[in-house]
Structure 1
Amino acid sequence: MTQSHLSIQGVSKRFGLYTALEHVSFAISQHEFICLLGPSGCGKSTLLRILAGLEQPTTGRIVLHGQDITTRPPAERGIAMMFQSYALFPNLTVAENIAFGLREKKWTRTAIQEKVAEVLAMVDLEQAAGKYPGQLSGGQQQRVALARAIALAPDVLLLDEPLSALDAKVRQKLRREIRRLHEETGMTTIMVTHDQDEALTMADKIVVMDHGEVVQIGTPEDVYNRPDSPFVADFIGAINFFEGTRFVGHLPDANALLAIRPEHVRLLDHETECGIPAVVESVEFRGSFYRLFLQVQDEQESTIPLRLTIDLPAASAQRMRVKRDQKVLLELPLEKLLVFERDAWKGAG
């Protein structure tokens, strides 16, 4: 059974008149993989630096293993941080980069050699031990930085957007590598990202942040399928927003702000009185699915046309031969609708 391992309690951070964090509080269980997710400037990297001891909070405290470590120096926290730039020493070999922190901790030469060999094997870089960072690819440098952090056997590993500088294919591979290393080492891992796909595929729990505040905490399934606000719904995945009044007679709550994921909108392949008429404005091929952009034929003839996005499996789209300017019928399954208060809109979508 997991237990509360790391606790962030009422942490705020101000830089002059600018508030980077506002009363952030949540607990992390031992061995969890947490993603801090949010747009640029939401405070996630500032929170990571406070956890690492590189910044001091204006108010609040950080508790690890039941001990207040808020003012403890970085080297005495049992927390390792991997920076976005990797921060490798260009004049040291891969093995020397990994050994650097161990030498600082006065490990013996034999113990250092054994640990370096162990972590190089974990990241599949045994053959690169004698190379310099400049001789490695970006993905290899990232793995060296990971190995260096893991070698210190920290209680908590902090990752600051570690994959942002890599191309898409390498990024996808290293997502799996980082997750595997997390599971092998059993460390508590906290990763900052603004990439929703990284958070959804890697995290046990996602902490969604906006304007220095935590707006939702939950499993990837929770935040995707049950977002607490239009902001979360809009930030994580594609979403359609519309007002309930647009479909009086079809939907139950005419005064609500409604939302539905593109993959949940159904395109009907037969005539029915319950179908919502629409016209296909454009079609995008996305490999395993097609994304359709539709304009609803609004019975109310509103001055603001309602447009919906649908993700249709490739086989279905090909079978139905969907094309631009085609007239179609839609169905919005009630069980898939997300309902928010109307005043929660604030420009979502």
Structure 2
Amino acid sequence: MTPSYLSIQGVSKRFGLFAALEHISIDIDKNEFVCLLGPSGCGKTTLLRMLAGLEQPTTGRMIVDGREITSLSPAKRNIAMMFQSYALFPNLTAAQNIAFGLEEKKLGKKAIAAKVEEALDMVDLSHAAAKYPGQLSGGQQQRIALARAIALSPDVLLLDEPLSALDAKVRQKLRREIRRLHEQYGMTTVMVTHDQEEALTMADKIVVMNHGEVVQVGTPEEVYNKPANPFVADFIGAINFFAPDRFEHKQADNQRLFAIRPEHVRLLPDESECGIPAIISEMEFRGSFYRMFLAWEESGQSATDVLTLDLLATQARKLGLVRGQKVWLEFPLENLLSFEQADVSAGRG
């Protein structure tokens, strides 16, 4: 079996009595794009800073391409980190910001100039070479910070929530750009995010974290379709949870919790004995689809008994659905998730 390119082995980090990370073990392949995903305070940025050498682990080892880097200084790791704030020098031009790290590596002037030109061209900002950060938009600053990191030809590129300060449209464009550059330059990339959409669209592998521990590791499809516990199911995408007594045929005992994604709930065209009756309490138009909030018929409008369903806008209009309407639902068995009671208690964040 081929060893992983980047291996994090039993890493823990304590600040006094507080455990920021507990026995983290992750294996990352060469050229893989990995997202560390989790709520604020779960330890993902602490882990990233330890990879960069800005924090030291309390226990454990970190290995890159067969070389242990656990005790190495940041300068000796050949790992580049792009910070959430971009950390551009305000008194240097875009070109000078990119050149700064290269000068620290003692490269010749011609080599630096060539790398700066290539980096600016890579992010389509050659025209902004002489501009200062204050003269650039947020998206342009982000691309300069990214170019500066990539220009160093790092073994591993670390990204700390690089898109969080940008508006939605720019964020969508730049996540495609980051993914394109990752593939073009064959980098091993580790990105921290709390945005599940970013993780699902950008990552080859997602590491879901909570309370300083790794909860699940898998492809975007695996963590979305086969979540390890209710926390993962709830954190990644919308989901409906309900007890087994919702099913007349009692598919499981009360030690299990059922769940289903909104897009998997089926709306039956007519009243059906096999269907589960519900009342449409709210309808949100979301462009291509409607997100509907329904209450179990017998529970009235109780907020604790709301079920979410996603329906194509064309279908919703065709059926003439309105608030207060009674409908019949079906939960396909192939899309139904269930969790044991042990998973339910362990998975709550």
**TM-score normalised by length of structure 1:** 0.96
Contact 1:159–1:191 (CA under 8 A) maintained in structure 2 = yes
Measure how far apart 1:156 and its partner are.
0.2
**1:89-142 CA-partner distances (Å, limit 9, x unpaired):** 111110000000111111111101110111111100000001100000000000
Measure how far apart 1:2 and its partner are.
7.8
Matched residues in 1 for 2:229 and 2:304: separation?
24
Choose 267-276 or 290-299, whichever is displaced more.
290-299
Tell me the secondary structure at the aligned position of residue 35 of structure 1: strand
Considering only aligned residues, what root-mean-square deviation do their CA atoms show, in Å?
1.7
Structure 1 letter corresponding to 2:233 = A
Matched with 1:14 is 14
**1:255-307 CA-partner distances (Å, limit 9, x unpaired):** 320000000000111232101111101111011110111111249x9x99632
Matched with 2:222 is 222
1:1-349 counterparts in 2 under 5 A?
Answer: 4-249=4-249, 252-255=251-254, 256-298=256-298, 306-346=305-345
Contact 1:247–1:254 (CA under 8 A) maintained in structure 2 = no
Matched residues in 2 for 1:281 and 1:228: separation?
31
Measure how far apart 1:78 and its partner are.
1.2
Contact 2:271–2:327 (CA under 8 A) maintained in structure 1 = no
Matched residues in 2 for 1:273 and 1:259: separation?
22
Contact 2:257–2:340 (CA under 8 A) maintained in structure 1 = yes
Matched residues in 2 for 1:304 and 1:52: separation?
45
Q: Structure 1 vs Structure 2: percent identity of aligned residues?
A: 70
Tell me the secondary structure at the aligned position of residue 50 of structure 1: helix
Matched residues in 2 for 1:160 and 1:77: separation?
18
Matched residues in 1 for 2:207 and 2:303: separation?
35
Aligned residues: 346
Tell me the secondary structure at the aligned position of residue 345 of structure 1: helix
Pair 1:95–1:81, CA change in 2 (3 A) = same
Matched residues in 2 for 1:304 and 1:191: separation?
36
Unaligned runs of 5+ in 1: none
Structure 2 letter corresponding to 1:236 = I
Matched residues in 2 for 1:2 and 1:284: separation?
49
Structure 1 letter corresponding to 2:309 = I
Matched residues in 2 for 1:105 and 1:70: separation?
21
Contact 1:120–1:129 (CA under 8 A) maintained in structure 2 = yes
Matched residues in 2 for 1:154 and 1:49: separation?
15
Pair 1:276–1:148, CA change in 2 (3 A) = same
Choose 334-343 or 136-145, whichever is displaced more.
334-343
Pair 1:276–1:248, CA change in 2 (3 A) = same
**1:186-237 CA-partner distances (Å, limit 9, x unpaired):** 0100000000000000000000000000000000000000000000000000
Tell me the secondary structure at the aligned position of residue 4 of structure 1: coil
Matched residues in 1 for 2:306 and 2:251: separation?
20
Which 4+ stretches in 1 moved above 6 angstroms? none
Pair 1:80–1:110, CA change in 2 (3 A) = same
Contact 2:288–2:312 (CA under 8 A) maintained in structure 1 = yes
Tell me the secondary structure at the aligned position of residue 102 of structure 2: helix
Pair 1:148–1:210, CA change in 2 (3 A) = same
Matched residues in 1 for 2:112 and 2:280: separation?
63
Tell me the secondary structure at the aligned position of residue 146 of structure 2: helix
Contact 1:196–1:236 (CA under 8 A) maintained in structure 2 = yes
Measure how far apart 1:165 and its partner are.
0.4
Matched residues in 2 for 1:46 and 1:243: separation?
37
Matched residues in 2 for 1:126 and 1:77: separation?
29
Matched residues in 1 for 2:243 and 2:343: separation?
12
Matched residues in 2 for 1:3 and 1:119: separation?
31
Measure how far apart 1:342 and its partner are.
2.8
Contact 2:89–2:133 (CA under 8 A) maintained in structure 1 = yes
Matched residues in 1 for 2:115 and 2:281: separation?
59
Structure 2 letter corresponding to 1:272 = S
Measure how far apart 1:345 and its partner are.
2.9
Structure 2 letter corresponding to 1:312 = L
**TM-score normalised by length of structure 2:** 0.96
Unaligned runs of 5+ in 2: none
Contact 1:78–1:154 (CA under 8 A) maintained in structure 2 = yes
Tell me the secondary structure at the aligned position of residue 282 of structure 1: strand
Tell me the secondary structure at the aligned position of residue 27 of structure 1: strand
Tell me the secondary structure at the aligned position of residue 172 of structure 1: helix
Contact 1:3–1:30 (CA under 8 A) maintained in structure 2 = no
Measure how far apart 1:343 and its partner are.
4.3
